[in-house]
Structure 1
Amino acid sequence: MWFPRLSSDRALRLRPIEGAFAVTLRLGNAEKIWCLNRLAEARGLHRGMSLSDARAFCPVLQSTPADPAHDARLLEALRRWATRYCPWVGIEGRDGLTLDITGAAHLWGDEPAMIDDMQGRLDRAGFEVRTGLADTRGAAWALARHGGGIAAPGEGLAALKSLPVAALRLDEGTDIALQRLGLRTIGAVAAAPRAPLARRFGPGLLTRLDQATGAQPEAITPLADPPRYAARLTLPDPIGLVADVMAGTARLLDALCNRLKAQEAGARALRLTLRRVDQHSQAVDLRLATAMRDPARILPLFARAVETVDAGFGIDQLRLEATLVEPLPIQQTGPASDAPDRLDNLITRIGTRIGLDNILRFLPADSHIPERSFVMVPAAGTTASGAWNAPRSRPLRLFPPEPIAVHGAAPPARFRWRRMRLTTARATGPERIAPEWWVDDDSWRSGLRDYWRVETHQGWRLWLFHTPQDPGWFVQGEFA
């Protein structure tokens, strides 16, 4: 199965456009056409053409940048969809699929009926597809991209001999060299002496020819589905006690954590689904502060939510699934690593009560402005890293600037702050801080600030600043 317009079909499914349309990709210093629809191709445009030349040919051309990552995810989704026809489905390049339908065609009637069903479903979904069917992978590839149709068993060479040599999956240099020798079709290459071809082009050309004709086998390697981290327990008799539900959850956790450990992964979010005998289900969601796979640490976190579950006439099935998984490599054990991370356990326990998003921590930010030198982020999933790089010490407490009635540019000898009369014992400074002109902040519209560290006879050690462009004095922080 070949999708010649995979990128443009994906873009047009998201935003349908009537008219010529192309997907562009920057190669070097120029925008090239990466994929285009039929209307653009009818205007004389082709792949590899520069976007400026394409707009000269077709001024009404509409375009969008290519996204190879999204195209790859779409192709993977199509691969999973194609497993409805056979279990052996592999990805062929960036725009094709290879299916081994041996023993599966009769489920659809016959091979033509299966292909008609594929093309009909994909056409209704908005995808253009071309198919080729043969008893070898190479022949099917050639038919899908250069001929189409079905090759009878054992007649692969007869179906391919009129196709160009590019259908052998050759590189561009080999293709051009063969055409210069007059070998423009697969039939001409097959009829030519093999020894001169091997000396001239190496074993790769003859390998591709033998794979297409069936003289040399070529297996299809399907992609393995991603592991699913889930476990289910069906009970012969319904249960309703919290202790029984927790015991069943413990059994599921053991199986799930063993699977996570085998894949060197850890769960960040879990969902426990409890099915009652009346077929109604209740879900208990658990979010963890860090990736875990230790049943002893995870099980107590379910207790609070399980107590609120309405068991009705009984629960007859439990299902536990890790809905969010992160890598968790196995680490060397030792005296320091044997003990669990108490902080993560504490954050998780509190988070089950008030929500993990409500537990915050401070992290350094890249700014020389005091009030912008930190950010508050959720504590779950983040680590306390980095450091504040300040030229001078910063106060332990920082609060919004509080004005004081003082005149002059020198630090005040006496001033009144928060209904207290304070006398300056020592003043250290100034430290001039300029506003960040690229950030619109009302609190810094007064311009420059000259910061002073002021120690008073009353024991207060404060952080004061003076604004020379708009004269005034303020207190913004307190040292320990």
Structure 2
Amino acid sequence: MWFPRLASDRVLRTRLIEGPFALTLQENNANRLYCLNMQAEKQGLHRGMSYSDARAFCPDLQSRPADPIGDQQFLHVLRRWAARHYCPWVGLEGGDGLVLDITGAAHLFGGEAAMLTDMRQRLSRAGFAARIGLGDTRGAAWALAHYGEGYAAPGQALAALQTLPVAALRLDNKTTIALQRLGLRSVGDLAGAVRAPLARRFGPEVLMRLDQALGHQPEQIAPLAEPPHYGVRMTVPDPIGLYDDVMAGTARLLDQICARLKAQETGARVLCLTLRRVDQDSQTIELRLARPLRDPRRILPLFERGVRDVDAGFGIDQMRLEATQVEPLPVQQVSHVSSGRKDQLDDLVTRIGTRIGLENIQRFLPADSHIPERSFLIAPAAYSDPGGPWVSLRSRPLQLFPPVPVAGTGPRPPKRFRWRRMSLTTARATGPERIAPEWWLVDDNWRSGLRDYWRVETRQGRRLWLFYTPQNPGWFVQGEFA
């Protein structure tokens, strides 16, 4: 089952466009056509064509940016649809096709011909152009879908494929051109040629593809496995409503779901506990974790606040726990020197995050820049790791603020100056430390050029960070030491 215009058909299903239409994709600093509808192909446009050339040939061409990731996700949707309607053995064939093993399923539709007719009708009503090939081998079905769209009777693959070009054997472009130069233009010509010279010149791939298409070599269909589902449910015989009972049920569900997570070497980041009352009303408790976890002893206490706020009504008769977001969590070696402080910090971040939101708990991370304002980043603590030790050849103030001008002349720090309505007297000054602007970044605050930083200790007890701008003489206060 081949979808020659999968990407454009997917877009046009939700946005009807009359006339030529194409999706574009940026490749090698050029915007090129990625997928076209039938009207655009009739205008002489083709895939890989430059978008500017396409507009010159077809001024009425309408376009949108392509979304290859979305196309692949939609192909998985089509795979699930085919597995549900036709047969369980469905796999992906490249980026725009499906391969189905319908052995033992065709009689449910009245035969193979009726089954193919049903496929075409359903896909046509959904707005997809599809070409379907049927054969007793995977290679024969692929060749018929891409170059013939027909039916190969059992044991008659050569008769059905002999007039098709050698490209129908899933060979690369270079090999196809080389075979055509030798006069082997069709599958029949290749099948009738002497095999030994072909194997010496092209290697085993050409003959292997030919044998797979004709059924001399087996080729299996590997269906994609369904992703693991991390959800468990429990129905209680008598409605419950006490806090201890709900927590006991949650503990049972956690044991089951954490066992599944451990088997897949994953950890939960978001857990949803749904409590259904006897009046069919449901309440959901969402727990967002600062780190992926699969330890039920650590997760259970984090549900306490949410469970206490639940209104049980006349009782709860069903509980469901699901990990809606998981992340890889491989097994790690535990040593006698490992500390649990990091786990305690993660649990604390989770507890606070349930009240104010995990995004509002932030940490400072070091950044690779000598500019004071750019030497750190602010990131959510739950979605970042400590960036390692802070490395600085000179001490930096604990508090930074926008530069505040102060009165002073000359390259040496002023002996007396006013700052924040305070009269300060310089007792000791250490410096200068010259910092140059980063020329590859545009920053209005550094347009004055170089800065000479001084650490100034005042008689009033203030320890300030001052800088002097030689290009445009002036003094500024930017930070204060602890």
- TM-score, reference length from structure 2: 0.88
**1:12-411 paired onto structure 2 within 5 Å:** 12-13=12-13, 16-24=16-24, 33-51=33-51, 53-63=53-63, 66-84=66-84, 85-192=86-193, 198=199, 201-337=202-338, 339=340, 341-388=343-390, 390=392, 392-402=394-404, 404=406, 410-411=412-413
Change in 2 beyond 3 A, CA 1:192/1:456? closer
Deviations 1:305-339 (A, max 9, x none): 01111112222221111111111111111123363
Q: Between Structure 1 and Structure 2, how many residues are aligned?
A: 479
Distance 1:118 1:338, change over 3 A: farther
Alpha-carbon spacing, 1:172–1:353, altered in 2? closer, same or farther (3 Å): closer
Letter of the structure 2 residue corresponding to residue 428 of structure 1: T
Aligned-partner Cα distance in 2 for 1:29–1:430: 46
| Cα distance change of structure 1 residues 214 and 467 upon mapping to structure 2, 3 Å threshold | closer
Shift of 1:349: 1.7
CA RMSD of aligned residues (A): 3.1
> Which has the higher mean CA deviation after the structures are superposed, 458-467 or 225-234?
458-467
1:257-299 superposed Cα distances (whole Å, 9 cap, x missing partner): 1211122111111111112222222111001111111111110
CA distance in 1, matches of 2:201, 2:428: 89
Structure 2 vs 1, CA of residues 19 and 367 (structure 1 numbering), >3 Å: closer, same or farther? farther
Q: 1:329 to 1:157 in 2, by over 3 A?
A: same
SS in 2 for 1:158: helix
Distance of aligned partners of 1:396 and 1:279 in 2 relative to their CA distance in 1, 3 Å threshold? same
User: In the TM superposition, what is the alpha-carbon distance from 1:387 to its structure 2 partner?
Assistant: 5.0
Pair 77,464 (structure 1): closer, same or farther in 2 beyond 3 Å: same
How big is the shift at 1:462?
1.7
| Counterpart residue identity of residue 4, structure 2 | P
Contact 1:286–1:302 under 8 Å retained in 2: yes
Which deviates further from its counterpart, 421-430 or 465-474?
A: 465-474
Question: How much has 1:146 moved relative to structure 2?
Answer: 1.0
The structural deviation recorded for 1:226 is: 1.7
- Deviation at residue 141 of structure 1 after TM alignment: 0.8
Q: 1:404, 1:194 → 2: CA distance?
A: 90
Structure 1 pair 336–114 and aligned structure 2 pair: CA distance change class (3 A): farther
Shift of 1:382: 1.2
| Higher deviation after alignment, 138-147 or 125-134 | 125-134
Question: Aligned in 2, Cα 1:29/1:238: closer, same or farther, shift over 3 Å?
Answer: closer
Structure 2 SS opposite 1:226: coil
Identity %: 72
Farther off after superposition, 309-318 or 111-120: 111-120
- 2:453 is aligned, of 451, 473, 480, to 451
Conservation of the 8 A alpha-carbon contact between 1:373 and 1:388:
no
- The one-letter code sitting in structure 1 at the alignment partner of 2:428 is R
Distance across 2 between alignment mates of 1:402 and 1:29: 45
284-293 vs 257-266, which moves further = 257-266
Q: Distance in 2 between matches of 1:79 and 1:71?
A: 12
Q: How far apart in 2 are the matches of 1:70 and 1:334?
A: 44
Output the CA distance in 2 between the equivalents of 1:285 and 1:295.
16
In 2, Cα distance between the equivalents of 1:400 and 1:176?
A: 67
In 2, Cα distance between equivalents of 1:277 and 1:479: 62
Counterpart of 1:39, as a letter, is Q
Q: How far has the Cα of 1:409 moved from its partner?
A: 5.5
Paired with 2:287 and 2:29, the residues of 1 have a C-alpha distance of 49
Letter in 1 for 2:36: L
Letter of the 2:46 counterpart: H
> What CA distance in whole angstroms lies between the structure 2 residues aligned with 1:156 and 1:448?
78
Gapped regions of structure 2 (runs ≥ 5): none
- The 8 Å contact of residues 271 and 321 in structure 1, kept in 2 or not, is answered as yes
Q: Is the Cα–Cα contact under 8 Å of residues 34 and 48 in structure 1 kept in the other structure?
A: yes
Residue 241 of structure 1: CA displacement?
Answer: 1.3
Structure 1 CA distance for aligned equivalents of residues 412 and 196 of structure 2: 96
Q: Which amino acid aligns with 1:137?
A: R
Question: C-alpha offsets along residues 177-217 of structure 1, whole Å, 9 cap, x if unaligned?
Answer: 44444443333444455566556655433433332233332
The residue number in structure 2 matching 1:7 is: 7
Query: What amino acid does structure 1 have at the position aligned with 2:267?
Result: G
Q: Give the whole-Å Cα distance in 2 for the aligned partners of 1:406 and 1:177.
A: 81
Q: 1:452 to 1:231 in 2, by over 3 A?
A: same
CA distance in 2, matches of 1:290, 1:266: 8
Q: 1:362 to 1:204 in 2, by over 3 A?
A: closer
Deviates more, 1:359-368 or 1:410-419: 410-419
CA drift at 1:461: 1.8
Counterpart-to-counterpart distance in 2, 1:62 and 1:353: 49
Q: How big is each residue's C-alpha offset from its partner over 1:128-176, in whole Å with a ceiling of 9 and x where there is no partner?
A: 2111122221121111111113333443333323322322223334433
Within 2, Cα distance between the matches of 1:195 and 1:470? 83
Instruction: Return closer, same or farther for 1:201/1:468 CA change in 2, 3 Å cut-off.
Output: closer
Q: Distance in 1 between matches of 2:402 and 2:201?
A: 79
Question: Which one-letter code corresponds to 1:356 in the other structure?
Answer: L
What is the DSSP-based 3-state SS (H/G/I as helix, E as strand, rest coil) of the residue aligned with 2:225?
coil
Residue ranges of structure 1 left out of the alignment (5+ in a row) = none
Partners of 2:446 and 2:346 lie apart in 1 by: 38
Give the secondary structure class of the aligned counterpart of 1:149: coil
Whole-angstrom distance in 1 between the partners of 2:201 and 2:372: 71
